[in-house]
Amino acid sequence: MVRPSTEETAAVTREPRANHGYLDRLVETPSRLPGHMLIWLAALYLGLMSECNERVKVTMGRILEAVDSNELAKAERLESSLTGLLALREVVSRLATWPWSPGVLRSFGAATILPIVLWLVIRTLERFV
């Protein structure tokens, strides 16, 4: 097994920067990941989703504060920010953490399970006919 270099380990374990957080970690992925890549990707995905959800929650709170204080121009600017955050959250939710697309698993299931189910149905019907 090839051990990761010190720089690669530091790049993965480094705390995310305050301005972009987990998005920086997504860009700074080392060429050889230590440990299990799927677990690392799943943890990164959960971190991204958590960060997006937290920012959406904070922005919604700021919008409500602006509306309550009758600062409608500020509320409009925050609403456009919220729209961008929701779009970002949608992009993050579609990131794949598996090495294959979801369609592959669906196709594999259809190719293997469907013939078995059909065979069982035919055998069951043959007993009653």
SS3 readout for the chain: CCCCCHHHHHHHHCCCCCCCCHHHHHHCCCCCCCCCHHHHHHHHHHHHHHHHHHHHHHHHHHHHHHHHCCCHHHHHHHHHHHHHHHHHHHHHHCCCCCCCCHHHHHHHHHHHHHHHHHHHHHHHHHHHC
Tell me: do 32 and 73 sit in the same domain.
Answer: yes
Q: Give the HSE-up count for residue 62: Cα atoms under 13 Å, Cβ half-sphere.
A: 16
Task: Tell me if 57 sits within 8 A of 85, measured CB to CB.
Answer: no
Tell me: do 21 and 47 sit in the same domain.
Answer: yes
Tell me: do 55 and 33 sit in the same domain.
Answer: yes
Range of the domain at 66: 6-97
Tell me: do 113 and 66 sit in the same domain.
Answer: no
User: Into how many domains does the chain fold?
Assistant: 2
Tell me: do 89 and 105 sit in the same domain.
Answer: no
pLDDT of residue 125: 93
**How confident is residue 85, by pLDDT bands cut at 50, 70 and 90?**
very high
Tell me: do 88 and 107 sit in the same domain.
Answer: no
- Per-residue model confidence as pLDDT tens digits over 4-19: 444 544 444 444 445 5
Tell me: do 13 and 66 sit in the same domain.
Answer: yes
pLDDT of residue 4: 45
User: Residue 1 falls within a domain, yes or no?
Assistant: no
Task: Tell me if 66 sits within 8 A of 78, measured CB to CB.
Answer: yes
pLDDT of residue 101: 74
User: Residue 67 falls within a domain, yes or no?
Assistant: yes
Tell me: do 93 and 104 sit in the same domain.
Answer: no
What percentage of the chain exceeds 90 in pLDDT?
Answer: 41
pTM (two decimals): 0.53
CA distance 103 to 34: 28
Tell me: do 91 and 109 sit in the same domain.
Answer: no
Look up residue 14 and give its amino acid: R
Tell me: do 51 and 111 sit in the same domain.
Answer: no
